[in-house]
Amino acid sequence: MNVRWTAALVVGAAALGAWVWFGELGGESRKKAAEAEAQRVFGEDPNGVTKLEVSLADGTLARLVRAGTSWQLELPVVYPADPESVERLLHSLQKVQATATISPAPAELAQFGLGESRRTVRLFAGDAPPKEVFLGAPTPIGGGRYLALPTDPNKLYVVDSAEVSGALPTLVDLRDKRLLRLPTDAADELTVRADGALVAHAKKTEAGWQLVEPEAAPADAEKLRRVLEDVGFARATGFADTETEAQKASFQKPELELDVHSPAGEERVAFAKADGKTWLSRAGDAVLLEVNPAVSTGVPTKTFDYRQKRVLTLASDQVHALELSFPRTGETHRFELDASGSEWKSTEAGVELKPLKVEDLVLAVASLDATGLEPAGADRKKLGLDPPMATVRALDAKGAELGVLSLGDASPREGLPALSSQNSEVWRVSNDLGGQVPLSPEAYRNLFVKSAAPAPAPPPKP
């Protein structure tokens, strides 16, 4: 086959492929788009809408106006609007399509929910005349809803109920239900008070979050993030535009107060219970927000919860040797990784370790968090730390010390006292740690050392 003939075949194949794609597949796509456009009965670019009027289920008119990038309710109350509900409303009407059309429309529309009880939505874009749509009752079957346009009175449309559900909001839907309006991911300061007493005051610094009151210490960044997110993601379930006497009295001494600061500003909120409900009061806002009680009870009210709890930090892949000591008996056991770096071996002749026990020990102490903290100046002897029950010393491949953990006498309620070479505090850790870190020579032998195989029984005598 010559070159020209091959080139002609290639060009022909390319042309055929293009015809199939653009003529058949592309044509089918254009056909579907044209059909969808033909079924479209109402549309307005959400970005161009500057005002909204929505009739609510009780016939009340809700009016919202765009204020920069946000929305504001003007009727029936003056209040910031819920941005998510407004966006959902606008987008639900942007490309609403008819699943059926009744033409000519029946003279009596009340039977379709399009009489006086109909829901009306008006969209205003600048000075242009508003676009208006009437939403009626659900269809008897098929999950649809009746819709009519005042600009096309000779037609009655059926649309998918789910597609226009956002255009049927309640007043609660339209009100801003955020408990915190500041972006919590930008917060750089948090103050928590419980029953009027300071629990924690933390600030974000170049070194990370730090507690500054009631004590100075590294803060638990993950705990602070969760507290801010939990409150920031929560939403109000109702509103009280006028305080009752019980509500006024409850906020004289709120059960919980949060001050959140970010580069965008500061926000102060307080939680209190009244009339069998939990309410939130925002500084500068006369309206109370009803909230789920779990929002306030989920905020920790102990200072320890907000401070960093790391007792010991080890990069487990750098640990190549361990020394497990029992200072009260003078006993020490050493374990080292083998040449392959995959198996731990005892340095004692004849001692065989149970599989994975040393790995479990390394993982247990490599990122050990405390459950409590002893007061400064705690008596270490009384806590069983002078001398300790057990110590774990971790070494790298060159024999340099990575960290030492010392454990004292266990308390059923308070846990194990613990000391770390990486900080000066006396911590409490869970008693469960004793399941991975032997606290006595007997526990070491039971947990770590393989028992010798029993000697075979002597053969029976003839």
Q: What is the pLDDT of residues 236-278, one digit of tens each?
A: 999 999 999 999 999 999 999 999 999 999 999 999 999 999 9
Does the pLDDT at position 456 exceed 70? no
pLDDT at 30: 57
* 296, 321: one domain: no
Does the pLDDT at position 64 exceed 70? yes
Measuring CA to CA, which residue among 58, 271, 91, 69 is closest to residue 171?
A: 58
Round the average pLDDT of the chain to a whole number and report it: 89
389-443 pLDDT per residue, tens: 999 999 999 999 999 999 999 999 999 999 999 999 999 999 999 999 999 999 9
Does the pLDDT at position 335 exceed 50? yes
pLDDT at 459: 66
For the CA atoms of the chain, what is the radius of gyration? 35
* 216, 161: one domain: no
Reported as a pLDDT band with limits 50, 70 and 90, residue 95 is: confident
**Cis omega (within 30 of 0) for bond into 104:** yes
Please indicate, yes or no, if residue 179 is contained in any of the structural domains: no
Does the pLDDT at position 361 exceed 80? yes
Please indicate, yes or no, if residue 4 is contained in any of the structural domains: no
**Are the CB atoms for 156 and 101 separated by under 8 Å?**
yes
Give the whole-angstrom CA distance, residue 282 versus residue 272: 12
pLDDT at 37: 53
Reported as a pLDDT band with limits 50, 70 and 90, residue 451 is: confident
* 60, 135: one domain: yes
Please indicate, yes or no, if residue 457 is contained in any of the structural domains: no
Q: What is the dihedral of CA 167, 171, 172, 177, to 10 degrees?
A: 80
pLDDT at 11: 46
pLDDT at 454: 54
Task: Provide the residue range defining the domain that includes 431.
Answer: 310-448
145-203 pLDDT per residue, tens: 999 999 888 999 999 999 999 999 999 999 999 999 999 999 999 999 999 999 999 99
pLDDT at 26: 62
Distance of CA 84 to the CA centre of its chain: 18
* 148, 266: one domain: no
Please indicate, yes or no, if residue 248 is contained in any of the structural domains: yes
* 67, 154: one domain: yes
pLDDT at 146: 95
**Are the CB atoms for 232 and 180 separated by under 8 Å?**
yes
Reported as a pLDDT band with limits 50, 70 and 90, residue 3 is: very low
pLDDT at 67: 87
* 124, 220: one domain: no
Please indicate, yes or no, if residue 25 is contained in any of the structural domains: no
Q: What's the structural domain count of the chain?
A: 3
Please indicate, yes or no, if residue 200 is contained in any of the structural domains: yes
* 421, 291: one domain: no
Please indicate, yes or no, if residue 33 is contained in any of the structural domains: no
Please indicate, yes or no, if residue 327 is contained in any of the structural domains: yes
Q: What are phi and psi of 285, to 5 degrees?
A: -120, 125
Mean pLDDT of 47-58: 91
For residue 216 the two structure tokens come to 């100075």
* 160, 89: one domain: yes
Domain boundary among 117, 140, 174: 174
pLDDT at 96: 86
User: What is the DSSP annotation of 256-305?
Assistant: EEEEEEETTEEEEEEEEEETTEEEEEETT---EEEE-HHHHHTS--SGGG
Reported as a pLDDT band with limits 50, 70 and 90, residue 48 is: confident
Does the pLDDT at position 94 exceed 90? no
* 245, 266: one domain: yes
pLDDT at 199: 97
Mean pLDDT of 197-214: 96
* 65, 189: one domain: no
pLDDT at 16: 55
Domain boundary among 142, 174, 206: 174
Domain boundary among 141, 174, 207: 174
* 201, 166: one domain: no
Cite the DSSP H helix spans in 83-208: 83-94, 161-164, 171-174
Beta bridge partners of 67: 70
Pick from 31-35, 202-206, 380-384: least confident: 31-35
pLDDT at 22: 53
* 315, 442: one domain: yes
Give the whole-angstrom CA distance, residue 440 versus residue 301: 37
288-317 pLDDT per residue, tens: 999 999 999 999 999 999 999 999 999 999
Predicted TM-score (pTM) of the model is 0.76
CATH assignment of the domain containing 159: 2.60.40
